[in-house]
């Protein structure tokens, strides 16, 4: 007997029933979120926690470096050359001893040497903070030595003022030239040397962690 559609035999379903979908259980997103959080995100810097941990020690380092401007200013006041003059009756002054046309340059040179020594010691001291080596300490080093130079400059000029009008009107009295910084770029010597020492020590470090604990 011919089946409808031209088939002579019965039609049998050889494919059989479709396989049931495997039961994978309920889909949860909690595990995926936890796994996503545990993996580092590409392009995100992981040093934020390090910066926060170094913030307080960096502020302490900055404050300590600023205070070093006091002995630096006292040292500049004690070592910088100045000249003494005698007040004459005609209102002029007479030099007591040999005068120097490079007096102001000598004051600046002494100031530069003092700040260079301060920057050298500050750079070594900052690098010795093994547990806090990093960007935060480097910034604190630059800011601290810069403020120390400003403090040393102001303190030195405060301790070495020039003669007043009353002193210049006192005939026969001895007056001393003022202590003055003529070159303002000299204030950058301390931070430059300090940062240079720190960067050179960083380049010579054996590992990328800079030996940080």
DSSP 152-181: HHHHHHHHS----HHHHHSTT-EEEPPP--
- Per-residue pLDDT reduced to its tens digit, 47-101: 676 667 778 888 999 999 999 999 999 999 999 887 766 666 666 665 566 666 6
- Per-residue pLDDT reduced to its tens digit, 10-36: 545 554 555 555 555 554 555 555 444
**Residue 114 domain-assigned (yes or no):** yes
Please tell me the total number of residues recorded for the chain in this structure: 213
Strands (E) across 6-64 are located at: none
**Residue 152 domain-assigned (yes or no):** yes
| Residue 2 DSSP symbol | P
pLDDT of 48: 72
**Which residue in this structure is represented by tokens 């259980």?**
25
| Residue 94 DSSP symbol | E
* CA 82 – CA 204 distance, rounded (Å): 43
**Residue 135 domain-assigned (yes or no):** yes
**Residue 128 domain-assigned (yes or no):** yes
* CA 21 – CA 13 distance, rounded (Å): 20
Choose between 114 and 211: higher pLDDT.
114
Mean pLDDT of 105-112: 90
Residue 135 above 90 pLDDT? no
Between 145-154, 186-195, 204-213, the lowest mean confidence (pLDDT) is in: 204-213
**Residue 151 domain-assigned (yes or no):** yes
Angle (nearest 5°) at CA 98 between 185 and 90: 100
**Residue 125 domain-assigned (yes or no):** yes
Count of structural domains within the chain? 1
**Residue 96 domain-assigned (yes or no):** no
pLDDT > 90: percent of the chain: 33
- Per-residue pLDDT reduced to its tens digit, 176-191: 677 889 889 999 999 9
**Residue 184 domain-assigned (yes or no):** yes
Domain of 154, in residue numbers? 49-81+101-160+180-203
pLDDT of 110: 94
**Which residue in this structure is represented by tokens 């130079």?**
149
Q: How many CB atoms lie within 10 A of CB 99?
A: 10
pTM score, whole prediction: 0.68
């Amino acid at each position: 007997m011919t089946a409808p559609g031209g088939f002579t035999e019965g039609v049998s379903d050889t494919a059989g029933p479709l396989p049931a979908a495997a039961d994978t259980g309920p889909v949860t997103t909690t595990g995926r979120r936890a796994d996503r959080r545990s993996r580092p995100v590409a392009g995100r810097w992981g040093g934020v926690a390090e910066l926060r941990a170094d913030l307080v020690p960096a502020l302490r380092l900055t404050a300590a470096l600023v205070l070093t401007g006091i002995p630096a200013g006292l040292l500049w006041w004690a070592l910088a050359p100045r000249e003494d003059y005698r007040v004459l009756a005609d209102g002029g002054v007479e030099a007591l001893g040999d005068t120097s046309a490079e007096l102001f340059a000598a004051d600046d040179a002494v100031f530069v040497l003092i700040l260079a020594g301060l920057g050298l010691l500050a750079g070594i001291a900052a690098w010795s903070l093994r547990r806090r080596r990093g960007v935060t300490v480097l910034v604190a080093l630059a800011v601290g030595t810069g403020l120390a130079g400003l403090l040393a400059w102001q303190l030195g000029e405060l301790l070495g003022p020039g003669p007043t009008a009353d002193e210049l009107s006192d005939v026969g009295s001895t007056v001393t030239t003022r202590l003055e910084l003529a070159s303002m770029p000299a204030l950058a010597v301390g931070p430059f040397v300090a940062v240079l020492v720190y960067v050179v020590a960083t380049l010579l470090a054996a590992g990328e962690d800079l030996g940080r604990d």
